[in-house]
Amino acid sequence: MLLARAGFDVTVVEIAPARRTGGYAIDFSGPAHLTVLDRMGLLPDLRARATGGRTSRFVDETGRTLFTLPPEFTGGDLELPRAELSELLHDRGSTVEYRYGDTITALHQTAGSVRVSFRDAPDQSFDLVIGADGMHSVVRGLAFAPEEECVTYLGYQVAGWDLPNAWDLKGEIHLHNRPGTLAGLSAAARNPARADAYALFADPSPHVGRADRHRRLEQVYAGQGWEVPTMLAAFPEATDVYFDQVARVAVPTWSTGRIALLGDAACGATLSGTGTGLAVVAAYVLARELTRTPDHAQAFARYEQIIRPYAARTQGGSSPAELLAPAGRLRLRLRDLILGNRVGRALALRAGGKAAPGPDLDDQ
């Protein structure tokens, strides 16, 4: 959007067949996120679409409340459905060409351009290529290093899917733990007839094939009470399924020649709770640097110099999966004790990285 406004010809290649409409709530927190959204002219529209954070209610096998966490624990200053942010960005980038249902298959750099091969379209040359294609980035694999060298599996799988709201759930997220597993339910953001189910579980295997997902959930959650059997039974009928490993991305350098990485492709960390804000701040800085100088190498270097330390502050530390689904009975008891009291909650919130200081956005 910012590059298009500055006169760049921008082409977005998206593997999904159309603009993605599903997904969970995302949130923005702190001055860096809000300043960038304001400078992009998005803040009023985003505020108008904000859903507000939700209380997280941890319950036992019978549904009895163990403790609750305030909305700021999962949400931030501004929370809204992911699809509504995509819609807004899409609508504001009016001169951007969107190509849906395709993917890059090869990248060949020459001195003056990058020749890009597509799965379903003829080759084409571009001045620059930005890989903003997520944690399992194809651009990163083609131009930087294989996935095994960049993505570290953190020992958990995470899943989300939609199902009928059989519980008349309203504004809260209900969560239930057994050692090494978390199951969650909340009402869908804009449709009270639907609900969102979540599963987070320790798993020694980093890869669960698409056909094995339901079986794996049934194995891991076998014998659990609360609403878990109903949630799992709905999985095969879900229309919007997310299932992936909890992982962290580390790439030694975010650019090579005319190709750069952005967002989760460069520095993703599942469940950090700040990935969207970080990606938006990084995109803003990258666009700003590219519009300041015709020297892309200088712009890429400045972008990385500004964003890398910020990313390290928000994405580092232990994985939130260990807090959300502690493996082992003792660890779970300890976690419940910590989150069950005010001081422990405040410390956990601070350690969550949402309050990490932002980059210097007025840097010249």
Ligand X SMILES: Cc1cc2nc3c(=O)[nH]c(=O)nc-3n(C[C@H](O)[C@H](O)[C@H](O)COP(=O)(O)OP(=O)(O)OC[C@H]3O[C@@H](n4cnc5c(N)ncnc54)[C@H](O)[C@@H]3O)c2cc1C
| Binding region for ligand X (CB under 6 A) | 13-16, 20, 24, 26-27, 103, 132-134, 138, 158, 160, 242, 263-265, 268, 270-271, 273-277, 279
CB of 337 to ligand X, least distance (A): 25
CB-nearer residue toward ligand X: 79 or 227: 79
CB-nearer residue toward ligand X: 155 or 160: 160
CB-nearer residue toward ligand X: 160 or 359: 160
Instruction: Please state, in angstroms and rounded to a whole number, the distance separating the CA atoms of residues 143 and 131.
Output: 10
CB of 62 to ligand X, least distance (A): 27
DSSP 241-301: -EEEEEEEE--S-SEETTEEE-THHHH-BTT-S-HHHHHHHHHHHHHHHHHH-S-HHHHHH
C-alpha distances (whole Å) from 235 to each of 159, 162, 244 are 10, 8, 15
CB-nearer residue toward ligand X: 126 or 242: 242
* Cα-Cα end-to-end distance for the chain: 22
CB of 152 to ligand X, least distance (A): 15
CB-nearer residue toward ligand X: 97 or 295: 97
Instruction: Please state, in angstroms and rounded to a whole number, the distance separating the CA atoms of residues 170 and 173.
Output: 8
Minimal CB distance residue for ligand X = 275
Cβ atoms of 306 and 287 closer than 8 Å:
no
CB of 103 to ligand X, least distance (A): 4
CB of 9 to ligand X, least distance (A): 18
CB of 330 to ligand X, least distance (A): 26
CB-nearer residue toward ligand X: 67 or 242: 242
E-only strand ranges, the chain:
11-14, 25-28, 55-59, 65-69, 78-81, 97-100, 104-109, 114-118, 124-126, 129-131, 151-164, 172-178, 181-187, 194-202, 242-249, 255-256, 259-261
Instruction: Please state, in angstroms and rounded to a whole number, the distance separating the CA atoms of residues 320 and 335.
Output: 12
